[in-house]
A and B are shown apart, each in its own frame.
Chain A
Amino acid sequence: MTNWSEKYEMVVGLEVHVQLKTRSKMFCGCSADFGAPPNVNTCPVCLALPGALPVINAEAVRLALRAAIALDFTINLKSVFARKNYFYPDLPKGYQISQYDQPIAVRGTLRVRTPGETATHDIAITRLHMEEDAGKSVHDRYPRKTAIDLNRAGVPLIEIVSEPDIRSAAEAGAYLRTLKQILEYAGVSDVSMEEGSLRVDANVSARLHGATELGTKTEVKNVNSFSAVERSLQSEFERQCAMLDRGEVVRQETMIWDASRGTVRPARSKEESHDYRYFPDPDLPPLILDPDYVARLRHTLPEMPQQLRQRFSTEFGLNEAELDAVTAESSLAAYFEGVARAHGDAKAAAKWMMGELAAALNETGTGIRDFPVRAPQLAELLDMVRDGKLSHTAAKGVFATMRSSGKSAPVVAAEMAVTQVGDDSQIEQWIEEVFAELPAETARFRAGEKKLTGVLVGAVMKKSKGRADPKKVNALLSKVAG
């Protein structure tokens, strides 16, 4: 395969839809919950019954503003909801209420570091606007029929549109991961691509290195993971480069990512060429924000990942890899800080989280929020290791039992009888017994044959069923032999 990136430059802009974490929908009181039986979360407003009217959900506005503040946007104190008109069965009103020429926020930025590169790149974000989601069309449930589920119709979304500032598939991935992390920290969304609370459309074009004009772009849709975004962009970029290289013209169109084949294909042309006939929604007065309210929201925002990294670095002396691991999600960072503060040794806490904890989360597929061992309990376990009450190996076993039983580390260790014995008199007694059982080896050891230390320690460990602190056994051997 030709390495097109030597000759051509990839130019990408991303449109990200994020579902806001509100209890109710954008314009009515229906539950915004995911997973209810079809059409249960509906009312005259989101069913678009004749005569029903929308009313703006203040909580959705608050979350949109939090997202905008977290991404350094300029907030528009006046924004306008507009109707985007098109017909589709899962769009009950025949129009989507969105924001058009006066969105709630403009001009944001996201600082991105692409893996493998040292420099960061600031990606400009054009706008952030609020809108409502459509329902779902289910095509594969009934033969020759389409079913409509309107539970999702009217669920609040924000759309975040970047400038064409992204220069590689890897950078697009980094942008998305960073964006997701910030939105998760801001607490505005579940940001789950699997559950559809984060969706990505990518605009991509190719041009010769050094060119100043943008090439003709295509829009890649139907991508359902960040890695799929990267793969689809690379695939579409290569398709465009090959065309340009043959002297062909790239047509502006929508491409559908086919994950099973790992290629893009053009969407049917019917899916394009909409004239949405935007106009201000006469049912909703302009959204006017109180500057004091926006200022107050600014102060309620929690620490963002960058600030947290800074603080953890100076306060706990963590390195980059440790920082990456413990700040990946806000709840993980809070957990880490809980363990580090209770236990005292932040490095040990980070190490345990990157090793045992990460493996456990991976294995069960749960998030840290649902993890049964809470921060103070983990700290207690780490305390026991530090105090010599548990060997590292034994601690792993105790940790596993803590996860399944919900019991504390000392209780589990006692039940499993794995508590390390550091008590001198107990260890001395075991040594005496071993000396009695192995008189020949003991005599040679007493005569100065130090190589027999290993044999004797091993015998003591065996006698203690592995619970004796080996360091102590070593130290006490000579004393007892004395």
Chain B
Amino acid sequence: MRNIIDMTNDAAARAADPRFGRDGLNIVVATNQESSLANAERVAIAYGRGDPMSLPGMAIAVKDNIATLDMPTTCGSRILSGYVSPYEATAITRLRAQGAVVVAKTNMDEFAMGSSTETSAYGPTHNPVDPARSPGGSSGGSAAAVAAGITEIALGSETGGSVRQPAAFCGVVGVKPTYGRISRFGLVAFGSSLDQIGVFARSVRNAAIATYAMAGGDLNDSTCADVPVPTIPEPVEAYRGRTLDGVTIGIPAEYFPPSLDADVRARCDVAIEVLRGLGARIVDVSLPHTELAIPVYYIIAPAEASSNLARFDGVRYGPRAADVMDLREMYQATRSRGFGTEVKRRILIGTYVLSHGYYDAYYKKAQSVRALITRDFDAVFGSGVDALFTPTTPTPAFKIGAVTDPYEMYMSDIFTVTANLAGIPAISLPIGRVGGLPIGGQIMTRHFDEPRMFHVAAALEAALGGEAHA
């Protein structure tokens, strides 16, 4: 019992360490030691009583767009500055029931719109591996929290790679579960048909434990599927040897273009050979509509966002512009001051593509192409392929401020947005380092086939051993 409270105390102290705060790496945006300790005490009592828990006393950091009690939920935006949710996300309630204790809220791109955590109203987060570099985004704070050792597990959210890309950049494991595996209730919406809560951890097994702790149907979310929650995978030791016998892994050509960073390619080649060595059958496959994923994503996600962000109007919560003459001015001033440039850009794009006369040409068309992208995956998985292996990102972490062109920034998600569009589960895990910078490898499987995804990832993780982090 003492142990749970000590663990929480230590994690809360790390979360409050100025090195991780605003004047440091800018990973943590809010803490509440009092509330964390009170929760730890409740966990200690329940655990002492013998309540079954998969994460007793596990300190977690939570992305600032997931509703928590006792700490603000601001989405890295001025428009929600000081906002504390009166209710808690289903995912958080379930993690707490398994003994987890929230110790920090983490920095993020404003409303999860970005791939570098630079669009946050709190300023950019620095990558613990190399503070001159970006941790990726939008869940950069949570990836960095795990990489810096603040917590063992952190929650992020994905709309188009926002967990896997920062996981790759920071050298940790990042999971994007199947759309519908985890309730979105309490996750502030960006692109509702794409959004999914995800997990960062230092090991595949811990990532799986946290994923399953949150999984399962939720009466508060109609898009959350009521499918059975799988059992937690075996510890890593169980994956030594030819544990991938009978598993077919596809290597999609479109994810290895000539422009791919040579170091990333080299590390992937090693990982593929390791998978083969574990007994997997490696086959070349094609997902021909991959190149359309970024344009499709940048129609659907902003369209949904333009509507989802309409509620931030200054009427019920958040700062409201006071120096105005009428309602229209109040809306304009509140939203002009509250939202940053990237959010405004996407609201404009989204409003445009849904406008009368453009809907068919953009939104409707994008939905048709999205169906083609999904069909690509269905065809490959239908042909006997159990999992796909790809690089997570085209390059390792870039320097803060280095990517200024929005389109270039969007391209850093080229290998990850497809899983969001198709709704399938995907994981990124470290497969080595080049010049000290981590490289991520990605494994994708069928809808709700997280067990296979974790199985392949855990086997690869075990086989790479220390090499993954070397």
Contact = CB atoms under 8 A, between A and B. Distances in A.
Contact of B311 (A56, A94, A283, A285): A94
B355 A275 contact: yes
A102 to B, nearest CB: 14
Contacts of B223: 53, 282-285
B14 interface: no
Interface string B306-346: 11011111011100000000010001000000000000000
A278 B364 CA distance: 12
A94 B310 contact: yes
Nearest to B303: A279
Contacts of A54: 222
Contacts of A47: 316
Nearest to A148: B315
A51 B186 CA distance: 4
A35 B311 CA distance: 26
B250 to A, nearest CB: 29
A39 to B, nearest CB: 10
Given A50-B75, A279-B359, A55 B311 contact: no
A285 B83 contact: no
A49 B87 contact: yes
A284 B66 CA distance: 20
Interface in A273-294: 275, 277-279, 282-285
B258 interface: no
A26 to B, nearest CB: 13
A34 interface: no
Contacts of A4: none
Interface string A79-118: 0000101010100111100000000000000000000000
B282 interface: no
Contacts of B356: 275, 277
A456 B73 CA distance: 96
B253 interface: no
A87 B304 CA distance: 16
B80 A50 contact: yes
A284 B85 CA distance: 23
Given A277-B354, A279-B303, A283-B222, A48 B311 contact: yes
Contact of A93 (B73, B80, B188, B310): B310
A284 B312 CA distance: 21
Interface in A246-300: 275, 277-279, 282-285
Nearest to A56: B222
A85 to B, nearest CB: 5
A48 B303 CA distance: 19
B87 A55 contact: no
Interface in A420-459: none
A87 B184 CA distance: 25
Q: How large is the interface on A (under 10, 10 to 19, 20 to 34, 35 or more residues)?
A: 20 to 34
A52 interface: yes
Contacts of A148: 315
A54 B189 CA distance: 12
B122 interface: no
A53 B313 CA distance: 18
A282 B219 contact: no
Contact of A279 (B220, B307, B313): B307
Interface string A18-59: 000000000000000000000000001001111111111000
B192 interface: yes
B85 A53 contact: no
A332 B192 CA distance: 49
Contacts of B186: 51-52
Contact of A52 (B185, B306, B363): B185
B294 interface: no
Contact of A277 (B188, B309, B351): B351
Contacts of A275: 355-356
A225 B172 CA distance: 66
A282 B304 contact: yes
Interface string B81-108: 0010111010000000000000000000
Given A83-B307, A92-B316, A283-B223, A49 B85 contact: yes
B32 interface: no
Nearest to A81: B222
Contacts of B363: 279
A275 B83 CA distance: 31
A134 to B, nearest CB: 13
A50 B359 CA distance: 26
B275 interface: no
A51 B351 contact: no
Given A85-B307, A148-B315, A50 B83 contact: yes
A45 B9 CA distance: 35
Nearest to A283: B192
B310 A51 contact: no
Nearest to A28: B220
A93 B331 contact: no
B307 A94 contact: yes
B320 to A, nearest CB: 11
**In the complex, which of the residues B86, B307, B331, B355 has the most CB atoms of chain A within 10 Å of its own CB atom?**
B307
Nearest to B354: A277
B72 to A, nearest CB: 11
Contact of A50 (B188, B192, B193, B313): B188
B67 interface: yes
Given A49-B85, A50-B73, A277-B354, A92 B311 contact: yes
A93 B73 CA distance: 18
Contacts of A85: 306-307, 310, 354
A51 B188 contact: yes
Interface in A115-167: 148
Interface of B: 65-67, 73, 75, 80, 83, 85-87, 89, 184-189, 191-193, 219-223, 303-304, 306-307, 309-313, 315-317, 327, 331, 351, 354-356, 359, 363
Interface of A: 44, 47-56, 83, 85, 87, 89, 92-95, 148, 275, 277-279, 282-285
Given A92-B311, A282-B304, 9 more contacts: A49-B87, A50-B311, A52-B186, A56-B222, A83-B307, A277-B354, A277-B355, A278-B354, A284-B223
The 5 closest A-B pairs by CB, nearest first: A94-B310, A282-B192, A282-B193, A277-B354, A50-B188
